[in-house]
Structure 1
Amino acid sequence: MPALIHEVRNYLSLARAQAQIIAVGLSTDPRQDAARILATIDRLDMALQRFKRLQGPISLEPRPCRVSAVLQEVSLLFSAVARQQGIELVVEGPASGDEEGIWADPDALRDVLINLVQNAVEATPGPGTVRLWQTADAEGVTLCVQDQGSGIGPEEARRIFEPFYTTKQRGTGLGLAICERVVAEHGGRIWFESAPGQGTTFYVWLPRPRQAPTASTPSQRTA
């Protein structure tokens, strides 16, 4: 239940911020921003459906997934909110070698990136920049989210993926723990590099399948 509350808050705060931008007249394209609010609500509904299954084994629905498209989608969700705070979201083009994409659950991957980007925006004082990019090789694709915050200290670094550990006043300490679990279920890994006063970069590595799967049977693994 706490994990569900955490995800609901993430999506509701994002939708609320987008609505506020329209309400105070800061939107350059109200129709587009309204469409993003509707898309955020749809993502919330899908997240609720997934959390119903989190009481037991994690269930993923992997299919061909282009990382660059997910990066762009998450960037668009946060662009207006970040701009209001004086933060520029920069998405660099796909690295050479990502043409084949990966085999992953794009909805679950999107949730991971939403958590990371939201943390990066909250950590970065305006004016500032949050950068998203990817690297790729024959073995897999790495998604990168970099902020310009104050960095992560040694104690926080040791416990950052620990459930219920948080340094935020209203945090639940579940966002990164959930991210780690979802990435692990994809056969990947998540880590970060940080130094006090120099910002933080999170990396999510996801493997390419050694051969294309022949069926779209959901992957299940007991937590």
Structure 2
Amino acid sequence: MQSNKFFLSITTKLMLLCNISAIIPVWIISWLTQLDWLLIGVNTLLTVLIASYVSFRLCRSTVQGMHSLETGLLNLKDGELTTQLAYNNNDELGRLCQLYNQSAKQLRQEKQWIYQRELMLDKVLQSSPQAVLLKNDKGFIVYSNYSARDLFNAKTALEGSQFEQLLTNAHPQLSQALQRGSDGLFTLEAENQEAQAWHLSTGKLLLNNQYHYLYVFKQLTRELSRQEVEVWKKVIRIISHELNNSLGPMSSMLHSGQLLSENLNEPRLKRVFETISERIKHLNEFVQGYGKFAKLPTPQVITLDWPVLLEQLQRQWQFILEINKDVTTLADPTQIEQLLINLLKNAHESGSAPEQVSVCISQDTKGTHISVSDQGKGMSEQVMANALIPFYSTKVTGSGLGLALCREIVEAHHGQISLHNRNSGGLNVHVILPSV
């Protein structure tokens, strides 16, 4: 740092040093030769002029090199690394300037590499399904990705906003999790959507000599559902395998028994064979139905032709249709048709009048919304909590497959399905198919 005291430049100091070194011998010689004061003054003036000129010529290149270094260091201080020093004399300052140019070039390359890595990191974070939030020790949000904005229902970027204000406008469960400030699980419950399980991970780091606090939110709903479904699929495959191993020999033995009993006039034996044949057929249908759930193929996504699909459904089921114009949905037509068939079947079996069953299809920024509603008995909390689990059914002849298959189809399309009792009575099944 420069002080306010008087100081001399290096050029001035060198010129003074040269002048003093030249004047002292002139004065000594003039004193020894006993020159008069006029000649001494003339000799002194000539000596000063010659010494000043010579010293200026000698230190000019040095001053230019130092000015170049000063300019380069000022640019370096301002973060400008593209300037190269033009001083290239073959002396100490020239070598210093060359070293500066090499260092600036290396720093420029490293800066470009760091910038590219920052761009890549920002791209990864912005496209990550995990919500990332970073605040400084002043309580201001300094970074957030798109998932964080969706989590906090923000229409604009969160950067620059106060963290406390963000907590005020956030979901109550989300606000409580952030106020605890520790790692853990929490649940978000929203209207017309399935309850979502989230995990909050927190961290503290030093960035630019300032402490920052990092919050990472990971949604576990889909992962927990996927693991649950995988367990059920494994159970179903084991059961199906064991039943198939038994049904094959039983069918063969039944056929052999029927052939042996053809010459026997025993009506009761015929009824026994018919009962066994009926039960084998029922078990085969049972195995095939659960096999469809356990081996659901990967969706073949195309643009749905809603008019054709809905016309086919209306030939089988009666329902009121509400659909917005220009609904564009990318999904597997066969699986979406099976989804709607299962939902309409449940709606008609709920005790609702056929004319009170409705299907509403709309679209917004989140994707395509499909709602199937009825005026039946609805569901209790216990039934609703288990309705999407395989094998669970409240019907005497139900297999517990319909809604479980619906859930599997929706999640295969990376969507969401939720069940809600209607205020006017009945049940509403809400499905969201995201835009691909």
1:59 aligns with: 298
SS at match of 1:72: helix
Q: How does 1:34-73 map to 2 (within 5 A)?
A: 56=295, 58-73=297-312
Structure with greater proportional helix content: 2
Q: Which has the higher contact order (CA 8 A, sep 6+)?
A: 1
The one-letter amino acid paired with 1:189 is: Q
In the TM superposition, what whole-angstrom CA distance separates every residue of 1:79-119 from its partner, at most 9, and x where no partner exists?
3xxxxxxxxx2112x21451xx1111000000000000010
Taking structure 2 as the reference length, the TM-score comes to: 0.32
Alpha-carbon distance in 1 for matches of 2:334, 2:408 = 14
Aligned with 1:158: secondary structure? helix
Aligned to 1:188: 415
Match of 1:74 in 2: 313
Partner in structure 2 of residue 43 of structure 1: none
Please state how far the C-alpha of 1:52 moved relative to its aligned partner: 7.0
1:155 aligns with 2:379: no
Contact 1:135 1:143 in 2 (8 A): yes
Match among 318, 324, 328 for residue 95 of structure 1: 324
The offset of 1:145, in angstroms, is 0.6
1:70 positional shift: 2.4
**Residue type matched to 1:207 in 2?**
P
Percent identity for Structure 1 against Structure 2? 27
| Corresponding residue number in structure 2 for 1:124 | 351
- 8 Å CA contact retained: 1:149, 1:197: no
Determine the structure 2 residue equivalent to 1:143: 370
For 2:292 and 2:400, the matched residues in 1 are separated by 20
> Once superposed, what is the RMSD of the aligned Cα atoms?
2.9
CA distance in structure 2 between the aligned counterparts of 1:112 and 1:198, rounded to whole angstroms: 23
SS of residue paired to 1:172: coil
- The superposition leaves residues 31-89 of structure 1 with CA deviations (integer Å, 9 ceiling, x where unpaired) of xxxxxxxxxxxxxxxxx8x987765573221111134542332122213xxxxxxxxx2
The 1:151–1:141 alpha-carbon spacing in structure 2 relative to 1, beyond 3 Å, is same
CA distance in structure 1 between the partners assigned to 2:345 and 2:296 by the alignment: 27
Residues 96 and 136 in structure 1, CA contact (< 8 A), matched pair in contact too: no
Where does the alignment leave 5 or more consecutive residues of structure 2 unmatched?
1-235, 241-287
Structure 2 SS opposite 1:123: coil
Per-residue CA deviation, residues 152-199 of structure 1 (Å, 9 max, x unaligned), is 111101101011000001000011111101110111111121158710
**After the TM superposition, which of the residue ranges 173-182 and 121-130 deviates more from structure 2?**
121-130
For 2:137, the equivalent position in structure 1 comes to: none
- Structure 1 residues 55-64 or 200-209, which shifts more? 55-64
Distance 1:55 1:160, change over 3 A: closer
Aligned equivalents of 1:184, 1:111: Cα separation in 2: 14
Across the two proteins, how many residue pairs are aligned to each other?
153
SS in structure 2 opposite 1:58?
Answer: coil
Query: Bigger radius of gyration, 1 or 2?
Result: 2
